[in-house]
Structure 1
Amino acid sequence: MQTSKIRHQFYLPDDLSRALEDLASRPGASKTAILTDALRAWLERKAGHELDERFGPRLDRQQRIAQRSETMLNAIAEMLDLFVAHQLTLTAHQPPFDIETGRLGRHRYQQFIDQIARRLASNQGVPKLVAVIDETSSRKDKS
């Protein structure tokens, strides 16, 4: 009975050759079957490393999270830069504050902090900017 197999000739190190001999000495096993199964398994993995297959998707997800965080931090830094420049330019020629103006400023600041707390509580700690960034990045991923 003729099969469609091609003969290959190669050399193995002594330790691998002994291990192959030990495996092939078992009943029902042959060197050809062992090497065929091992090579097929290796090729089906596309010579990929098992750790890459296990942790690759997780690392990719971590990288996407880090990129979104970096994008958000960059946007916040730009906003803060623009706000500080605006405030310093706007208030450059104003007279010093009196006591009533200081009180009004502290009151407005407290309102600002309270509003931030309400928004964070209603969004489960996810700022609206993150939602906007997530939407745009998911649109880019789909296209």
Structure 2
Amino acid sequence: MQKARLSVYLEPDTLKALEALADRRGKSKSLVAEAAIASFVSSDASERQEAAITRRLDQQNRATERLERNLGISIEMMALFVRFWLTTTPAVPEAAQAAAQAKGKERYEGFVEALGRRLARGVSFTREVSEDLAGSPLGEGESTRNR
């Protein structure tokens, strides 16, 4: 089949982009332009674009679900800790409050330092918990929400 000649005028930036793509692919500018035009006028181009968008939305949905799960774990963990702490920590006598506050400040500073080291290493508590549960007899094949 004989090809027909077509002359087009392109903006300088568009021409540079076309030349750069042709160079990267090792193809002629005509071939790259022909493929782009064919894709543009093809009836299935919109279907491919829709499929690509759908894939990206699915990826975003999975990422959002992971964030939601991790947030739920974090909230539950904090609630359990607060409940445990409130039910097991005795009241401090008036005479010992200054010493208890000083010790609490020292412990808090140690906690913040440990948290900083852990975050710098990229260690995630929720990932550790997920891995621990996945490796345990209870966690195999069972969702954490079903327990």
- The TM-score with structure 1 as length reference comes to 0.53
Q: 2:70 aligns to what SS in structure 1?
A: helix
| 2:108 is the counterpart of 1:109 | yes
Q: 2:93 aligns to what SS in structure 1?
A: coil
Aligned counterpart for 1:127 among listed residues 124, 127, 146: 124
CA shift, 1:134, in A, is 8.0
Aligned counterpart for 2:89 among listed residues 72, 88, 91: 91
- 1:34-71: CA deviations, max 9, x gaps? xxxxxxx76xx5xx834421211111111111111111
Runs of 4 or more, structure 1, over 3 Å off, are 48-51, 92-97, 130-136
Q: Do the aligned partners of 1:68 and 1:134 also contact (CA within 8 Å) in 2?
A: no
Tell me how far apart the structure 2 counterparts of residues 83 and 98 of structure 1 sit (CA, whole Å).
22
Tell me how far apart the structure 2 counterparts of residues 93 and 134 of structure 1 sit (CA, whole Å).
37
Provide the identity percentage.
29
Report what 1:73 is aligned to: 71
Give the alignment of 1:1-143 within 5 angstroms. 49-91=47-89, 93-96=91-94, 97-123=96-122, 127-130=124-127, 133=130
* Letter matched to residue 109 of structure 2: Q
RMSD of Structure 2 on Structure 1 (CA): 3.1
* Letter matched to residue 76 of structure 2: E
Tell me how far apart the structure 1 counterparts of residues 128 and 92 of structure 2 sit (CA, whole Å).
38
Tell me how far apart the structure 1 counterparts of residues 50 and 129 of structure 2 sit (CA, whole Å).
32
* Letter matched to residue 65 of structure 1: A
Length, aligned pairs only: 93
Q: 1:110 aligns to what SS in structure 2?
A: helix
Structure 1: 5+ residue runs without aligned partners?
A: 1-40
Greater relative contact order structure (CA < 8 Å, 6+ sep):
1
Which one has a bigger Cα radius of gyration?
1
Q: Do the aligned partners of 2:92 and 2:100 also contact (CA within 8 Å) in 1?
A: no
